[in-house]
Structure 1
Amino acid sequence: MSQFKTFYIIAFALIMMLSSPVSHSTELVSVNVQGNTVEAVINLPANISADITLEFENAVGLTADNIGITAEIIDITSLNLLQRLPNSSNISLQALFPMMITIEPDTSGGFSFSGVASVDIHTHNLEYTAGTPLRFFKAPLGGEFKDITTTMGAGSYRARGSTGRFSQFIIVADLRPATVVINTKFNDLQTALNAFSSQIDSVVYSTLLQDVADINQAIMTLDYSSASSKVSQFINNVKANRGQAIPDVWRSSRDVDNVMGELIAYANTLRFSLRLAN
């Protein structure tokens, strides 16, 4: 694509965003719910479009109205947005896909789900190529974006991530060295486990702490194959103790923490990066 055409797309998108509130309108997001699956088709000005699919293990009260999916064209030069990315000059927003998707279910809608939610995104605005630096990032409202990528697909760009809660999603180019990404994701997993310690059964918590220590040891020796296997062991131990020992429910009322979903989400994306590096 020529530089002129790229500039035209960006300029037109920004003009449309500034001149009309329609870029935030749910009219541009078509949502369909079938059982535990949500499919949304998003069409924004300047032919910026995407499909997003949510899959839940078990959802209650899930409807197209209360899932709360909206999308907007973003200013990729906005300091407020750039400051929400990890502190690295190697991460950049995409001029060809200046879209941010927000998923914020209605607090009074009675929606809840258990376990891990998978989030798939697909767009024709970007292309998958071998070794692509494109990654799927998520953040709480107004918070820091983190890589949640677990798989990527060929052709037009598609990616999958997992989460135990919602908020905002973007696609970025991440050119950080693999070791930096892996260490960052490991630290995120360790921090999350420590943060949830009071909500996890003490015996189970000790087991998970040992798992994390084993993962760290393998990462420190650059044995990414063993580290990946140990992450899988961590995931299995979390799943085996979900419910009573590890809370595993998210509710739209935001009164409980989906500890299982969050821990597995951090572990899933760490395992993806370990396998990629290996």
Structure 2
Amino acid sequence: MMFTAMKFKQFATAVTTLSLLLLTSAQAQVVSPATLTIDDNKIQAKLELTSLIEVDLTVEFENSIGLNANTIDITAELLDPTDLTITDRLPSSLTSAVSGFPVLVSISPKADAGFGFEGLAMVELYTKAIHYTPTIPWRLFTSHDGGTFEDITTLTSSGSYRARGSTGQFSDFIILLDTRPSALVINEKAASIANTVNNNRDKITALLEAAIDSGINDIQSALIVNDNDAALTAVDSLITLIENASGSEIADVWRSSGDLVNVKGQLLTQLQTLRFSLRTL
């Protein structure tokens, strides 16, 4: 789904105007949760930025260690759309803050608190400030340690707007308007999967590494000939392969001290969001 240049310009103007008005009234205030519940492997928080903008955050872990209110910081803030600390982290000039919801949510486990988790963490943002429209490409992005924002969307739905993704690590989360061509998004996501494997081969056993490489080749071969159905089948197969892999085959733990790479979580995050993009063509 692509916007015309005129529609994109209209959205960009609306984003800037509304965001600046919101920032004037809220003075870019950073807020902590108004309510916070942590139960076993699940976090639920409500963050109130203005009388018009609230966000409900849900995080669910497959298996967490040391999760409690003293081991993790959660905040939200309204964005200045001209702030270079944000704009320099966008993946493209065709991505921008969402009109009515220019909000950055940060999840920051404390480095010395002993928190960690295995595999994937599901992250969901829900807000009544904007309303779901299937033809508008609002997506959930994340950025780690001030890096470039990456699309991690696995679901978008109504009520009023809900976006879900997964992650193998933590930092910042934001909903962006993404008007990049679908083919570009899909190819970039496929390339990110290959890069993650190439950067972490020492954390994957040889047998599993060979199987993952074969799956990536199947995805890339299908995309080259624009066979999206075959690409989707290959993605599903690779997800199943990695989901069934044990921690002795692939590194699957992230901890707040930052000394471990959760390769399994990162790969599943990238594969699941690639599947979302292929399914929404």
Question: Structure 2 unaligned runs (5+)?
Answer: 1-13
Identity of aligned residues (%): 38
**2:121 matches 1:112:** no
* TM-score normalised by length of structure 2: 0.90
**2:61 matches 1:48:** no
**2:250 matches 1:246:** yes
Structure 1 vs Structure 2 CA RMSD:
1.9
- CA distances 1:118-161 after superposition (whole Å, capped 9, x unpaired): 00110111111122210000001211001000011123110110
1:213 paired residue number:
217
Report the secondary structure of 2:109's partner residue: coil
- CA distances 1:166-219 after superposition (whole Å, capped 9, x unpaired): 000011111111101100111111111111111110121111001000000111
User: Aligned letter for 1:42?
Assistant: L
Superposed, 1:158-197 pairs within 5 Å as 158-197=162-201
Tell me how far apart the structure 1 counterparts of residues 111 and 41 of structure 2 sit (CA, whole Å): 19
CA contact (8 A) 1:29 1:70 kept: no
2:30 paired residue number:
24
**2:24 matches 1:15:** yes
Superposed, 1:78-157 pairs within 5 Å as 78-86=83-91, 88-157=92-161
Tell me how far apart the structure 2 counterparts of residues 159 and 8 of structure 1 sit (CA, whole Å): 24
The alpha-carbon deviation at position 272 of structure 1 amounts to 0.5
Tell me how far apart the structure 1 counterparts of residues 151 and 17 of structure 2 sit (CA, whole Å): 29
- CA distances 1:47-105 after superposition (whole Å, capped 9, x unpaired): 2211010000111111123221111111012223111011x332111231111001110
CA contact (8 A) 2:15 2:98 kept: no
User: Aligned letter for 1:65?
Assistant: N
Distance 1:147 1:12, change over 3 A: same
User: Aligned letter for 2:140?
Assistant: F
Tell me how far apart the structure 2 counterparts of residues 203 and 159 of structure 1 sit (CA, whole Å): 36
2:274 paired residue number:
270
CA contact (8 A) 2:19 2:99 kept: yes
**2:46 matches 1:37:** no
**2:101 matches 1:68:** no
Shift >3 Å, 4+ stretches: 5-12
User: Aligned letter for 2:55?
Assistant: A
Tell me how far apart the structure 2 counterparts of residues 7 and 189 of structure 1 sit (CA, whole Å): 33
User: Aligned letter for 2:233?
Assistant: S
User: Aligned letter for 1:230?
Assistant: A
User: Aligned letter for 1:15?
Assistant: T
CA contact (8 A) 1:24 1:71 kept: yes
Question: Structure 1 unaligned runs (5+)?
Answer: none
User: Aligned letter for 1:75?
Assistant: D
User: Aligned letter for 2:124?
Assistant: D
